[in-house]
Amino acid sequence: MSQRIDFIVSPGGRLQGQARVPGDKSISHRAIMLGAIAEGSTRIQGFLEAEDALATLAAFRRMGVRIDGPDRGRVTVHGVGMDGLQAPDGPLYLGNSGTSMRLLCGLLAGQPFDSVLTGDESLSRRPMRRVTEPLERMGAKIDTTPDGTAPLHIHGGRRLHGIHYDMPVASAQVKSALLLAGLYAEGETCVAEPAPTRDHTERMLQGLGYEVRRAGNHICLRGGGRLTAADLDVPADISSAAFFLVGASIAPGSELVLEHVGINPTRTGVIDILRLMGAKIEVYNPRMVGGEPVADLRVVSRPLKGVHIPEKLVPLAIDEFPVLFVAAACAEGETVLTGAAELRVKESDRIQSMADGLRILGIDARPTPDGMIVRGGRIGSGRVLSHGDHRIAMAFSIAALRAEGPIEIEDCANVNTSFPGFADLAARLGLGIEVISHD
């Protein structure tokens, strides 16, 4: 991005009021992808108008899909059916979105045309062999760089066959990529996951009329079916709500209601972990919206204590650990995270990035190969780096609620990849945040 944005966040304050955070990013991606290959027009409301999801939308427009909007979260995707996508006129640029790249890799492996997927500098460093190798076992041909990274050259016209794949690491993106390829494969594709991961792809496939079978930890489907358009309502993103769940927990005097939040059981690890630490989070008005469970969340400030985070909760909170490390810094005692090596290959090395920033602010944070040990203490003042990672930038913004002086965060433009309007909403709820733009 040409314009650099920094945050300067004043110390102290509390969060109060009620708010609805933007739509779920994972569900927004999948709504565009599956709506595009469905028959009929899929009407979406609550779509996340952020850079990552817009990258997916733009990619499908370039493959001949007519998409109306977005207009205040409303999008209509005029599906072209399973075989209606057209060859794009050049590489598909996906910005910073790993979800777009990995899921499209599966969907495009079964198309009759060649395609190339590219991304920004950060995305071009992220590992892609975890997706390309099992897809090649299905008969796909995908070229990567010698390091197994993008750009990805996907060769069209390949006959795919279903496989049974035991995922070595729990990953919703890998699972989803294989299921999307399985739509175009002969026979049955089954994916076995070592721990539960977000199941939005399976839920939405079923919502659009495609049979998906789950038996224990196996998710299976047969190729050759069809998808039928439907109306989809995207709930508020629990990953975005997490910043305010932590903020209201750690800032004395806070009381906050977050509305219409997706509480898919494969995504609620952040609530479970915060409750283990002593947070007071109430889930009320639960309901089902478009096949996804939704509820309102009420959080009241409460002193937190350090915990050993159960490894079974790690895949259910993998995107929320940057702000959970901030909760750990404000907790009494020691918090220990293990089994989270995946954090090292996100938009940044989130273990190292958070440990470095917390140390600058005076917190004892010791990174380990697959996690971190954080001893709660007094958060000071300082200038920290986001490393261009949206979740790092927002996490350190929330840390200022308990800081003794201002926190300056460099390079925050990428917050727009997942949470446009974060600074405005945070300020409305009580955070003293200032946005500084550098041309």
- Evaluate the CA torsion angle 341, 356, 128, 217 in order and state its sign: positive
> Which residue in the list 120, 296, 319, 411 is annotated as catalytic?
319
* Spatial distance between the Cα atoms of 421 and 427, rounded to a whole number of angstroms: 10
Going across the sheet that includes 433-438, the strands are: 382-385, 407-410, 4-9, 433-438
Give yes or no: 24 in active site: no
If one counts every other C-beta atom within 10 angstroms of the C-beta of residue 68, the result is 12
Task: Name 307's Cβ contacts closer than 8 Å, sequence gap at least 6.
Answer: 273, 276, 277, 331, 335, 336
If one counts every other C-beta atom within 10 angstroms of the C-beta of residue 143, the result is 11
Question: Do the beta carbons of residue 29 and residue 51 sit within 8 Å?
Answer: no
Give the burial string for 171-194 (b: 16+ CB within 10 Å, else e): bbbbbbbbbbbbbbbeeebbbebe
Helix (H) or strand (E) holding 116: strand 115-118
Question: Do the beta carbons of residue 316 and residue 343 sit within 8 Å?
Answer: no
Quote the tokens at residue 249.
Answer: 């927990």
* Spatial distance between the Cα atoms of 47 and 27, rounded to a whole number of angstroms: 8
3-state SS assignment for residue 117: strand
- Cis ω before 367 (30° cut-off from 0): no
By C-alpha distance, which of 365, 337, 244, 354 is closest to 299?
244
Angle at 228 between CA 224 and CA 173, to 5 degrees: 65
Tokens 């917390």: give the residue: 358
Q: Concatenated DSSP letters for 58-108?
A: HHHHTTT-EEEEEETTEEEEE---TT-----SS-EE-TT-HHHHHHHHHHH
DSSP state of 235: P
* Spatial distance between the Cα atoms of 198 and 353, rounded to a whole number of angstroms: 25
CA distances from 183 to 23, 77, 81, 177, 202 (A): 26, 19, 12, 10, 12
User: Would you name the residues annotated as active-site residues?
Assistant: 319
